[in-house]
Structures are given as structure tokens and as C-alpha cells.
Amino acid sequence: MAAATVIKRRQTRQVQVGSVLVGGGAPVSVQSMTTTKTADVDATLAQIYALAGAGVDIVRCTCNDIDAARGLAQIVPRSPVPIVADIHFQYRLALAALEAGVDALRLNPGNIRKPEHIRAVASAARERGVPIRIGVNGGSLDPDIADRFGGVTPEALVASALQELAYFDEVGFEDVKISVKASNVPLMIEAYRLLSTRTDHPLHLGVTEAGPLPAGLIKSVAGIGTLLAEGIGDTIRLSLTADPVEEAKAGRQLLEILGLRERKSVDLISCPSCGRAEVDVIAVASQAQDALAAREIPLQVAVMGCVVNGPGEARDADLGIAAGRSKGHLFVRGQVVRVVDEAQMVDALVQEAEAIMAEGIEARLAAADAGAAAAAEADRAAMLDDKGLDANNVEMVIKRIEAGAGGAS
């Protein structure tokens, strides 16, 4: 099996959001935000539990009025994950959220600008041991800073964050994480790269206002994934115009794909299909994804359209199946262990996945059908023979190429 490449993460300070550690070598955490009215306690808690079930580590709730603050007082003790209060404009609501017992605050420097208000919140948070995220946003950047830097630029976003950090320093508050989000992906990437050279505080990654699926997901993965691959980022949120549970699932999968969190769900790989495919690969892969996802099996599973290259191309997968001549060739780590009827491909895949989880890879390899590999090779040879071993008449083609090249000046 190919050796895994490990991302070397940037070393940062560590803060604690409730029971979740952020930065300082802690696993990259996944965040999302509720879309309910925070004053509606039952609806908000229902969404928080759904998010926690989808893999979220931290949930943010808006605190936009006093009713929301009252709601937080009831939500926080009943939540399965730490709660961050999202504060805009009214610094007194940040103080109310702290009284409600939230695990962290998010402040937007673009709309709470008076230094005395910022220092008052930081002082109250320091007394309670509650961290704050400085949440700079390209769409609400302080106009004075934008003017100074000629618009919304990476330098302007970072300057806003550092100015807020300086206000915190004045009252001795250091329990901080920072984000510099923008809806423009290259701008967002450059802002975080710059910020990572200016501070060792943990960074919260996100592409703000990314939009609906699928484009919003593509933008978010492009920005967040690029930075994570460079070792930048300690906690993430995919800001999608969608059910926040979709944010949670996608964020978790991104971290698992990058090897930054232990896999808890299936990683299904499949070929894009081609003229060699002997089954509807899209349908089989979709059925396998649904069946395996429901079982939360943390294996890499391959669905391949033919046996010509399938087992070899997917040999690093824990488990896979390839179609060939109305049969499914089930393989474990590239070794064919069983041949089943085409109609049984998905069922066989699920059964073998469950067996691997119960018995282990080595046990399943030892239990392989002795004749399966030979049968698979026979099917592979037969498929190749359908078009002939030299379907492209290679020798004749080469002669024509050489003749043409010989006449070139």
C-alpha cells in the first residue's frame, strides 16, 4: 500500500472552546452555524443535535437581540457541543451572551468599532476564561481601513485583525482565534497566508458567502483545502447557502480526505466510467455510497467499471468491486477474493465491508475463494481478447509515424 503523505501543520497557540481544543496541535475542528431563531430554543437545539450528529465539533448561534441572549441561557447547558455567540453591532449583547454562559464569542471588527467597547468585551471574556474569535469579513470591512489600503485587500483584512488584537492586548486578553474571510477565493487565500506570518494565534478558515451547492462547495473546498494542504488552519467552516448539516458533512469529509481527522465514514472511490464499463458505474457507485454511508463504515471502498484495470488501479483501497462479463469481482487490497453475479455487486460489497470491520483485512484475505483470482484473470483476458491484443495495429501506426517524422525538416 502506498505510503501516506502527512501534512505538516503550522504551529499555533492553543485556545479551548468549551471541551474542544483549537490550535496547538489539536485536531482541526469543524464548525457550523444554526439558521434558526436563537430565541426558539427547541428548534435551535434540534438543529444543534443534527449538526453534532453530522460531525460538527462547535456550533455558532446568532445573538442579535436580548431574546436571543435569553435563548442562549437555555441552549448552552443542553447542547452536546460548545456554543459560540455571534455578535454584530451591539457590544452589550456580547456581555449578555457571556452572562448566558456561552463557550466563546465571535466579534466582527467591521461593525463594533469603538475601542472602549471592544476592550470592555475582552475584559469580561478574560474574567470568565472565554475565548473570542476576531472575525474579519471582506463584506463588512471597516471603511477607514479599506480606504487606507485601497479597498478590500489581503493587507487590509489582516490589518483589521491585528488592530482588534491590539485592543485585546491592552487589557491583557490573549485567548484569541482569528479569521479573515472573503467571498473571493484567491483574496481569502492570500489574506490567510499573510496572517499566518504575522501571528501565531489559531486561525479559523472559511470562504464567506460561498453560495449554494454545488458552486459554494467548490469555492469553499478550493479556499479551505488549499490552506489546509499548506498546513494553515486550526478550525474550519464551510459557509454554504444550504442546510447547515450539509456544511458539517462536507467539512468533516474534507478533513478526512486530507488525513487531518480520523476517517469515520466511507471514502468511496470510483472510476468515471468509459466504453469498457460493463455496468452502469454511476448507479452502482451511488447505491454503494448510500448503503455504506448508512452503516458509518470507515473504509476506502472502490467501485470500478471493468476488470481490465480496476483491481490494479484501486489496489490501495481497503475493498472494491469491478464488473466483468456479467459478474462482479470483489477484491481486498487489490487481491480478488470472490466472484459474484452482477446483480449482487452492491450486496456483496456491503457484506464484505462489514466482515472486514468485524474480522480485519488479513482475516478476509485468508478467507479468499481459492479460485476467484484465476476466474477474474480469465474474465480480464477475455475482455482484452474481444478487441484483440493489438486493437490499435500498433506496429503499422509506428511505421507511419516514423515515415512522417523522417521527412520533417
Per CATH, the homologous superfamily of domain 14-257 is Dihydropteroate synthase-like (3.20.20.20)
Q: Residue 144 pLDDT more than 60?
A: yes
**Which has the closest alpha carbon to 239: 302, 181, 318?**
181
When pLDDT is averaged across residues 345-369 and rounded to a whole number, the result is 94
Q: Beta strands of 226-359 (E only): which ranges?
A: 235-236, 267-270, 300-304, 319-324, 327-332, 335-341
- Which pLDDT does position 398 carry in this prediction? 79
Bridge partners for 335 per DSSP? 332
pLDDT(278) > 50: yes
Task: For residue range 154-204, list pLDDT tens digits in order.
Answer: 999 999 999 999 999 999 999 999 999 999 999 999 999 999 999 999 999
- SS3 category, 56: coil
- Domain map (residue ranges) of the chain: 14-257, 267-387
Instruction: Tell me the CATH number of domain 267-387, given options 3.40.190.10, 3.30.413.10, 3.30.70.20, 3.30.950.10.
Output: 3.30.413.10
Q: Which of 264, 262, 200, 187 is nearest to 227 (CA)?
A: 187
Residue-wise pLDDT tens digits, 222-274: 999 999 999 999 999 999 999 999 999 999 999 999 999 998 889 998 888 77
Tell me, what's the pLDDT at 1?
45
Q: Is residue 389's pLDDT more than 90?
A: no
**What is the per-residue pLDDT for 132?**
98
Tell me: pLDDT of 314 over 50: yes
Of 123 and 139, which is predicted with more confidence?
123
